[in-house]
Amino acid sequence: MLGYEPKFILAYKKQGNEIGVTFFDVQTLKIYIGEFIEEDESMQNLRTLICQIRPVEVIQEKESMNSNVVKMLKNSPVIPTFTNLNPQKCYGMVKAATKLEAIFGTKENWPPLLQEMVDKE
């Protein structure tokens, strides 16, 4: 595509020293899911991801916002729009699995990455 520049929306969840991320390109509809463990307070892995994908929007739980992450995003090359969700509107594993079953059917029909993530939980 001539002149194509991805526009990523990033959703993240930091819990302890683990960070789960989901980001997708709104133009190609490609979804990426990952997680990593931060070894220090600089959050180098998340910082690198932000610089690489330059999200245009960030979705986060209102009550679990991390001021270091917000500061990092506001200092990124492209300052994203922030969408803060109430935890009641966020999917936990059970609600997500129920929704996936409604879309894909039984777990055997799910994309392999989603099967793996549910098995890990």
- Give the per-residue pLDDT at 92: 72
- Give the per-residue pLDDT at 15: 78
- Give the per-residue pLDDT at 8: 95
Q: What is the C-alpha separation between 28 and 15, in angstroms, rounded?
A: 30
- Give the per-residue pLDDT at 2: 61
Contact 54, 40 (CB under 8 A): no
Taking the model in full, what pTM does it have? 0.76
In the chain, which residue ranges form alpha helices assigned H by DSSP?
A: 44-53, 67-74, 93-104, 112-120
Low-confidence ranges of the chain (pLDDT < 50): 1
Strands 8-15 and 18-25: antiparallel
